[in-house]
Every structure is written in structure tokens, then in C-alpha cells.
Structure 1
Amino acid sequence: MEPTVQFFSGFALSDMWFMAQAAWRTLVISVVSISLGTLLGAFFGWVLYEGKFWATAGLAAFLDVFRSVPLLIQLVLFFNLAPIVGLNLDAFASGVVVLTIYTAALVANVARGGLEAVGTPMRRAARSLGMSYWQALRHVVFPIGGRAVFPSWIGVALGVMKDSALVSVLGYVELLRASQILITRTQEPFLILAIAGAFYFALSFPVARYAEKLEQRWAIR
């Protein structure tokens, strides 16, 4: 009698470690993309607020493309078109590039809203104290405007962290991709997805709670 071939196996402790490693990869690609995208988006927001019409019109149209086209399509198109122009990027690098620009497109309007939240009288007051344009921007406009739009930025950051799951289509083994692999092997989708959801919650909840406490601290001041 021929031995039975075992295709499936139950969920094991090693699988939990595999998912934890995938959650770490999710955190890494999210932190890198959000950080770079926030810096780039703040610059874009400043250009949209201070720039001339010819500059802002082109930039606004460019950002609208990344805000309007689904992120999944952006990832697939970039990953397949990049080698044609000589960019041989792996799944992680491709995901970072697309997520960074996607984040910047979302943050740009948030940053512009923060700049608009600081009224002209406050800007003039800063200049009357002897500050240069850049000093007023650094010490007055950005701190006050940043506090005004901080909740919106947190929403963008948490959204991008969850959207990073789409990088799995490129073969990057983050949390969602790891869950798909384990579901195929264990045939336990409810258990695997529940654990994946718990990992996403563990990544997102501390950020949301810290942001809430930071807002309360600013409100007291």
C-alpha cells in the first residue's frame, strides 16, 4: 500500500513566528514610505500654497493622478514598467517608491490646509519681530499649522499602513501575503485572518492612542 501524501498541515507555533516576521516587514515598509511621503508631501503642500499658477497647476494634476488611480494599479504598473526604463527594483523598493508618492499625494493637501490655517496677521506678526520668511515658516507656520492638521495626518498614516497590504501582489511577503500562504497550507482561513487582524490592530492602535494623548497635551497648553 502506497503511503498517503500529506498536502495540508495544521497551524503551528512556527507559523505564528512567520506571521510576526511578516508583520515586522509591514511595519518597515509602512514607516519608510510614510516618513518619506510626509516629507515630500509637506514640500508639495508648500508649493501648492506658495507657488505660481503654472507650477501649481502641473503639480496638482500630477498629484490628482496618484490620488485617483487605485493603489493596486499603481503598484502593478510601476513594478512592470520600471525594468523597461532601466530600474531593476525588487518588490520592497518598488512598494516603497509607489507608497511614498501615494502618501505624498495625500499629505500634500493636508499640508496645504495646515499652511492656510495660519492666518496672514500671524505671519505678519512673525515678520514684524524680525524673522525672515524661512524663520517664520519654521518657527511659526509649520508648528501651528502642523498641530491643526495632525489628526488628518494620522488618518493618512494609518490608511497607508493598511494599504501596504497591496504590496503583496508584487511578491513582497508582508502580513497579508504571509496570511495567504498559511491559508493555502493550513486551510484555516478564519484563524489565520483573525491573527492577521490582531497584528494589524497591534500595529495601528498604539499610533492612534499616542496621537490622541499628544493632542490632549497640546490642548492643555
Structure 2
Amino acid sequence: MQFQLSYSSLQWSDIPFVLTGIWHTLLLSVLATFFGTLIGILVGWLRENSVAARVGLGPFVNVTRSIPLIIQFILVNSFFAMAGFAMSPLLIGVIVLSVYMGMLTSELVRSGLQSIRPQLKKAGRSLGLSYWQELFHVSAPLAFRSLFPGWIGTVIGLTKDTALVSVVGYVELLRASQILINRSNEALLVLAGTGLFYFVICYPISRYSQRLEKVMQHD
């Protein structure tokens, strides 16, 4: 007996499903970027100013950066499941991507702070600035200029990495595309549209960051 797979063509009614996948991708990207940046600033500052934090957090940073994201999603999801905590795929995605983004950002923050000449810090303190005043008005702006290009690259990479969250059941754009491909067998058309979306999101960010970087260099 022979079995024949049945496919149905793409329909206008598929648009809301695709738009939902796009919304999920954008939501996950924004949340992970926001929380990941906050984590990265804190961890980077701590590792630059505390030997204990440098020693204690160093292994965690290295492990998080080294293990493939897809494995991290599976491990974190399995851990919470075994612990008896039912967590939504969105929350799992936000946690893993935020921590991953945070560890990458922390290295950018640490290297940015290290790039500042000690003479500039001493000059600020000699003018009567407190540590926090010198940090916010001297060190932080200078560090931001040096780490900004790397941070933008991290954000763009994070946006594309949201596609991996489908491994824990989150239906973002790529997972929605896979579902449509399985139903319609229109792989080329669907994937071309998916790739175009990622391009439309990531390319303007890259171009705008380049313009902003030039403005900061001339200030």
C-alpha cells in the first residue's frame, strides 16, 4: 500500500499566524536585550572592580559563552521541569537569552572600562568628583563609545538566535515558517520571506548604529 502526503497551498489566512510569529520574535528580542544589557552592565562592572567577583563569576561567564545556546535551552527547560516549576516557553527563552546576552555584554563592558586611561580617572577625581560621579560622567561615556559597536553586533546576533527557542516549544517566526512549510511544501517561498524579515530587522539596526558611531566619534 502506498501513502501519499497531502499538502495545501499557502493562503491569506496564514498571515495572522505569521504575524504572531513575528510578534513573538520581536517580543523575545526586546525583552532579552533589555534584561541582558542590565545584567551585562552589572556583571561587567563587578568583574572590573572586584577580585572576588572576577574569580567567582569568571567560570560562569566562560561556560555560558562556550556552551551552544540550543543545549542551554534544553538544560534550563529540563531543570525547571524536574524541579516541578511549569514555565512558559517565552519565559524560558527570556531567561536563557538574557543570561547569554548578559555574559557577552559583561565582557564588552569590562573591556570598555579597561580601555580608559587611568590618567583620565585620576583627573576626574582630582577635580573633586566622587567615584560615582567620575564613573557616570567620565568613565561610562568613554567606555560606551568603545563597546557600542560590539553591543550592536551582539543584539543582531541575539535577534537571530531567537529562532533556537523553538526547541522548547516557543512558536516564533522560524518555527511558524517550519509549520507552514510542512503543510504547504513551499519551502523556498516561506524561507525567503523569513530571511527577508530578519534582514529588514537587522540591517537598519546595523546602519543606524554606524551613523550613531560616527556622530559619537565627532563629539
TM-score normalised to structure 1 length: 0.93
What residue in structure 2 maps to residue 13 of structure 1? 12
Cα offsets for 1:76-108 (capped at 9, x unmatched): 111111133343211000010000101111111
- d(CA) in 2 for partners of 1:90 and 1:46? 31
Q: 1:141 and 2:139 equivalent?
A: yes
**1:145 Cα deviation after fit:** 0.4
What residue in structure 1 maps to residue 154 of structure 2? 156
Aligned with 1:88 (options 66, 86, 89): 86
Consecutive unaligned residues of structure 1, counting only runs of 5 or more, are none
Q: 1:203 and 2:206 equivalent?
A: no
Consecutive unaligned residues of structure 2, counting only runs of 5 or more, are none
What residue in structure 2 maps to residue 67 of structure 1? 65
- d(CA) in 1 for partners of 2:149 and 2:78? 35
- d(CA) in 2 for partners of 1:147 and 1:17? 40
**1:174 Cα deviation after fit:** 0.3
Runs of at least 4 residues off by over 4 Å: none
Cα offsets for 1:145-167 (capped at 9, x unmatched): 01111000011111111011000
What residue in structure 1 maps to residue 43 of structure 2? 44
Aligned residues: 216
Question: Within 5 A, what are the aligned runs for 1:46-195?
Answer: 46-52=45-51, 54-195=52-193
What code does the residue aligned with 1:28 have?
Answer: L
**1:34 Cα deviation after fit:** 1.0
Q: CA RMSD in A?
A: 1.5
Question: Within 5 A, what are the aligned runs for 1:27-42?
Answer: 27-42=26-41
Q: Percent identity?
A: 42
Matched position secondary structure for 1:10: coil
